[in-house]
Structure 1
Amino acid sequence: MELKKQLIISIGREYGSGGHRIAEELAKRFGLTFYDYHMLGEIALDKKVDVKTLEKFDELPKIPFFSRTVKGYSNSPQENIANLQFDFLRKKADEGESFVIVGRCAETILKENPNLISFFVLGDMQDKIERTMQREGVSRGEAEELLARHDRKRKTYHNHYCKTKWGDSRGYDISINSSRLGLDGTADMMEEYIKMRLSL
């Protein structure tokens, strides 16, 4: 569909909930640029650094014992890379670009933008385990470990940079359980909500 005004869709998600796939589907339906961890490649190109260096510290909070900030400058690579991504998103938003962004604290970083619509996608544990087993080709026990590790990482990262807690429904326009309607049905519901917001 042709947009008459800027649209930014931010999607936070539990690991295995299908939030990433839903985000890709919404980007396709609305014809929007899609940003996830791959945006590090664009940042690396702009800053003339190796993208693998940035990826190593992506979505990690700084380690307080080994880092310090002097006159606004941090020696923490984790914090510096997080801020590079936050600045990247702010610049795209300020330039009027419409896009879908997965994670990266976008619902907080861009909350002052009136054209932001934010979602948090969660799911039933059984569905998340089965989806992870199928996608990653791992056992049930390994899937459970992946779920716990990735969600712990996302929660720690988000809560380090944001006042609102990761997954707290008060920090998003809508929190939705993808297990209720399935991934396509969840995307349909989110699409309808977005269209209603765009018509206001």
Structure 2
Amino acid sequence: MGRIITIARGMGSGGKTIGKMLAKELDIPYYDKEIIRMASDESGINEKLFGRVDEKIKNTIFNREEIYDGELLEPDHKDFTSDRNLFNYTAKIITDIADSGKSAVIVGRCADFVLKGRKDVVKLFIYSDTETAIKNVYDRYGLDGKDAMRLIEKKDKERSEYYRHYTGRDWTDARNYNLCLDTSSMSYDKCVEIVKAYMAVLDK
């Protein structure tokens, strides 16, 4: 049986790096931005439209929650390119990956919720303290101080609002996940070891 690892992550926590390390260690595919391209290919909708609403929503003050229900609209529907339908196409790709029976790592895009109730899914939340996040943002983007903090706050706010909009849940609620790993208190290698050990217990 394949195993799907979903990763929700705070900005600057190293979640994407850990995802890539797990994929390499387990010799399984890693999906992040690839999901957007695949959703575009599946739907025929321009990839740029998916990119504009990827892990963020517009006009959050006026938007009501649109909890994901799996519905896909036909091309002749007036809301075919709506934000909700774009999300639902990305969710379809995530579901198709899981239904393939093969193992994979999937980063972001509410994958833990899209695949809720499945026994073949390991749901991770990767986070860190502010100091660690700022250091990681500096190492990756060359931003420090206030600029790094602004980017961290912006991205985490977008991801939190996106998650609540399509799931009705709090993005940082530990009850959504199987494991929550703090990269300010352990190395990426240790995080990978913990996930592998957890999966080994599940496979017994």
Offset at residue 66 of structure 1 (A):
8.1
Q: What residue identity is the alignment partner of 1:124? A: D
Offset at residue 80 of structure 1 (A):
1.7
The percent of aligned pairs where both chains have the same amino acid is: 27
**Deviation by residue 1:128-172 (Cα, 9 ceiling, x = unmatched):** 001101100113111000000000000000011113310100110
User: When the two structures are superposed, what TM-score results if normalisation uses the length of structure 2?
Assistant: 0.86
Work out which of the residue numbers 40, 44, 51 in structure 2 matches 1:44. Answer: 40
Looking at structure 2, the residues matched to 180 and 66 of structure 1 have their Cα atoms a distance apart, in angstroms, of 37
Identify the residue that residue 29 of structure 1 maps to in structure 2. Answer: 25
**Deviation by residue 1:6-61 (Cα, 9 ceiling, x = unmatched):** 10001111000001100111111111111112221122223334322321221223
Unaligned ranges ≥5, structure 2: none
Q: What residue identity is the alignment partner of 1:98? A: S
Whether 2:154 is the aligned partner of 1:134: answer no
**Given the superposition, is the C-alpha separation of residues 85 and 154 from structure 1 closer, same or farther in structure 2, using an over 3 Å criterion?**
same
**Given the superposition, is the C-alpha separation of residues 82 and 62 from structure 1 closer, same or farther in structure 2, using an over 3 Å criterion?**
farther
Looking at structure 2, the residues matched to 107 and 173 of structure 1 have their Cα atoms a distance apart, in angstroms, of 10
**Deviation by residue 1:75-111 (Cα, 9 ceiling, x = unmatched):** 3632221111111111222232321111111111101
Q: What residue identity is the alignment partner of 2:200? A: K
Identify the residue that residue 166 of structure 1 maps to in structure 2. Answer: 171
Q: What residue identity is the alignment partner of 2:107? A: V
Unaligned ranges ≥5, structure 1: none
**Given the superposition, is the C-alpha separation of residues 180 and 83 from structure 1 closer, same or farther in structure 2, using an over 3 Å criterion?**
same
Aligned length: 193
Looking at structure 1, the residues matched to 56 and 12 of structure 2 have their Cα atoms a distance apart, in angstroms, of 19
Quote the RMSD (CA, aligned, Å). 2.3
Looking at structure 1, the residues matched to 161 and 144 of structure 2 have their Cα atoms a distance apart, in angstroms, of 26
Q: What residue identity is the alignment partner of 1:102? A: V
Q: Which has the higher helix share?
A: 1
Looking at structure 1, the residues matched to 39 and 153 of structure 2 have their Cα atoms a distance apart, in angstroms, of 29
Most deviating of 138-147 and 49-58: 49-58
Q: How do 1:109-124 residues align onto structure 2 when only pairs under 5 Å count?
A: 109-124=114-129
**Given the superposition, is the C-alpha separation of residues 72 and 132 from structure 1 closer, same or farther in structure 2, using an over 3 Å criterion?**
closer
